[in-house]
Structure 1
């Protein structure tokens, strides 16, 4: 049963130096035609797999709020037309950049049912913001969040990054202190990963990217855990922290290995036990929809073995871990019948533990999560 919908707006005013998401510069793009293609994909998707228990909608990018007021109205009308019925407490999130979101756009979002905003802040160090290719500055964050609160948003999330080029532990601590002063409900905090086809990847290959190093990165993550706890934000996933009741229900859909729609260029769906990939290039996406009504370029039926792997691979990201009883209810087999060797090995290494009916990461395991996840690929 589909739990969530992700919709992808691939347009940006500025391409950040670390970003490898499916995105293009906003200027000169066939935006209205793209939105119409999304409307067609959304209509055809919900007709073939009607939503019965939709709990979350998430609009990401790119920069969704780069759309003009008219374009936003067109897009929001599509969402409200097709993604009904919804659960009464549905979480409806828009990603946004500080500094390019005027109050009237925030009001438009709120009027259309959006009740959660996720701001890509990354750091409060203005020099570092310039270095990573962001166009906003610290003062813009304060102004935009003030606007959001005035409009009535009571669920605001901030994205932060660490292990950025030349970033120090002290600089990261300063960003955290400023972030806490904003009294938002949720934080996501990620270490920088150098991805191919990015500005930072090209700089690294030329020896011109100066990173803090693994030891400093680990120190920053340790500081993050300490400061979040000190300020009463509970860690519920490796990189996510929230005040009680404000955990991201959309992201929990992924980590709980539940089904979701993925609408837009380069989006991915998990529907009817199949993982589906959309065409990434905008023209290809639009032409596929014009020809067949769907933008699919790959459809994979997931085997039971793969589903069990994903249950561990994704579920171990959650701080509560993977429920032993839920695994049995879902697959009709004990988690120990399938993964006993891997569980024993990771327990011996001190990276996971069995406690209160769950298999979960230890504190040490949080620092080596990718190593643990790989161990459960059969």
Structure 2
């Protein structure tokens, strides 16, 4: 197998039972947010018969009441593209007029199809999340139509909250935030990333710093229950001093309910990766060493500003009473079959029962399939019971702790647990397993300890095929991909042709 030199692949290829290797600066990888993973090359559902058989469970069985449901809506539009973002998106300017109407009608139709299936009859939704893309890129009427359909079709009588990701560009529209509040939105989040004007320009972030401050103030004035801001670290050009200024601006001046921190991911083959490699972005380049230093800086500084409660691995608050935050449901609810995710919209990822699947990463194809009565997905797999059990331990580093009673077949992981405890990464009691501070710093690496051998092999192959076929490894789509990575060109030129083909773009 070809070795790809990035932290994700280094994590898969490392012998993590060697402590020095585990804590190597260049081998700190991201936590796992979706598992078991889907691959556009390995999990394609190509015929309507395959899709019908795959989804027959929706009308054949009812949802297990002990399992919470997160409704996730992917609104794939942005007013402008940030060059660091690998999420699936299209320009909102491209989908105006009749195209916008068709999209909204398709969203409503998909809401109705799922909600009216036998599987969801009598099911109470636990949390609702709108992500993207940028949901606030939709006009008020379109967004209201979709949210109203959710209230009408699903049982939200016991919902813990409804959150929406936005941008200062859309949220600053007169009456937009007030409209969201009137329709039951309880939390709004948006990405600040950095307050440094030069770095924002190089990341092609269109919203101004002034708009960031005004939007935060407008959210407070509207009476939204809570709001969260995103902060990135290890960005090109982001010195420790700039990061300190970012933290001060967010915590002392913007003062959100929650701060969500994200490490910069330099996806191979993307435009930004090309610019960084060519030295066109900054003399201070992202690195594993800087990332570890800045992770520690963020934790210490957030605590100094009162954000000393770490709810999830990247989720901090100054509040004593936070209420449900919803993000825990996206990572399985921290228990065996504790939470499923139903995703609606282009590129939305789903985990329902043993089924892990993804909707079309093509807006036009997704709309047409919905209009034609075809289930609009492009990949899906049925997971083994072994993988279903593994989800709890793969995700537990996101939470920082797990109750032993919530882990199916705990002794299956005895070697890994003992190694974590002996190495100082975790503490085990009679009731739970909890990461230490050094364990939290290496949370992404710890997740890899609980990947099955099959899942590791699939991840390696996904990375290789994505780069070979000029696709972004994140979703195996064409987001920000202009070229074959330079370091891979010579290897591909001498490698025998692979029988796998890329997912069809249309």
Same-fold call, TM cutoff 0.5? yes
Residue 42 and residue 151 in structure 1: after superposition, are their counterparts in 2 closer, same or farther (change >3 A)?
A: same
Determine if the alignment matches structure 1 residue 7 to structure 2 residue 73. Answer: yes
SS at match of 2:346: coil
Question: What corresponds to 1:225 in structure 2?
Answer: 299
User: Are the counterparts in 2 of residues 20 and 197 from structure 1 also a CA contact under 8 Å?
Assistant: no
CA distance in 2, matches of 1:370, 1:115: 30
Determine if the alignment matches structure 1 residue 312 to structure 2 residue 393. Answer: yes
Residue 94 and residue 197 in structure 1: after superposition, are their counterparts in 2 closer, same or farther (change >3 A)?
A: farther
Determine if the alignment matches structure 1 residue 285 to structure 2 residue 359. Answer: no
Question: What corresponds to 2:250 in structure 1?
Answer: 179
Alignment of 1:57-76 (within 5 A): 57-76=128-147
Question: What corresponds to 1:237 in structure 2?
Answer: 312
CA distance in 2, matches of 1:197, 1:285: 26
User: Are the counterparts in 2 of residues 44 and 294 from structure 1 also a CA contact under 8 Å?
Assistant: no
CA distance in 1, matches of 2:236, 2:244: 15
SS at match of 1:136: coil
User: Are the counterparts in 1 of residues 177 and 222 from structure 2 also a CA contact under 8 Å?
Assistant: yes
Q: CA RMSD in A?
A: 1.9
Determine if the alignment matches structure 1 residue 323 to structure 2 residue 403. Answer: yes
Question: What corresponds to 2:354 in structure 1?
Answer: 273
Question: What corresponds to 2:28 in structure 1?
Answer: none
CA distance in 2, matches of 1:370, 1:326: 21
Determine if the alignment matches structure 1 residue 43 to structure 2 residue 112. Answer: yes
The unaligned stretches of length 5 or more in structure 1 are none
Match 1:252 to one of 328, 333, 350: 328
User: Are the counterparts in 2 of residues 20 and 196 from structure 1 also a CA contact under 8 Å?
Assistant: no
**Deviation of residue 79 (structure 1)?**
2.0
**Deviation of residue 275 (structure 1)?**
1.5
CA distance in 2, matches of 1:316, 1:323: 12
Determine if the alignment matches structure 1 residue 214 to structure 2 residue 288. Answer: yes
Match 1:134 to one of 180, 184, 205: 205
**Deviation of residue 77 (structure 1)?**
2.2
SS at match of 2:82: coil
Residue 131 and residue 360 in structure 1: after superposition, are their counterparts in 2 closer, same or farther (change >3 A)?
A: same
SS at match of 1:180: helix
User: Are the counterparts in 1 of residues 161 and 186 from structure 2 also a CA contact under 8 Å?
Assistant: yes
CA distance in 1, matches of 2:323, 2:398: 14
Q: How many residues align?
A: 370
Determine if the alignment matches structure 1 residue 124 to structure 2 residue 195. Answer: yes
Determine if the alignment matches structure 1 residue 294 to structure 2 residue 383. Answer: no
Question: What corresponds to 1:91 in structure 2?
Answer: 161
Judging by fraction of residues, say which structure has more strand: 1
> Which protein shows a greater Rg?
2
Report the TM-score, using the length of structure 1 for normalisation.
Answer: 0.92
Question: What corresponds to 2:414 in structure 1?
Answer: 340
User: Are the counterparts in 2 of residues 2 and 271 from structure 1 also a CA contact under 8 Å?
Assistant: no
**Deviation of residue 263 (structure 1)?**
0.5
Residue 245 and residue 174 in structure 1: after superposition, are their counterparts in 2 closer, same or farther (change >3 A)?
A: same
Greater RCO (CA < 8 Å, at least 6 residues apart): 2
User: Are the counterparts in 2 of residues 41 and 295 from structure 1 also a CA contact under 8 Å?
Assistant: no
Alignment of 1:9-28 (within 5 A): 9-28=75-94
User: Are the counterparts in 1 of residues 232 and 264 from structure 2 also a CA contact under 8 Å?
Assistant: yes
CA distance in 1, matches of 2:295, 2:156: 40
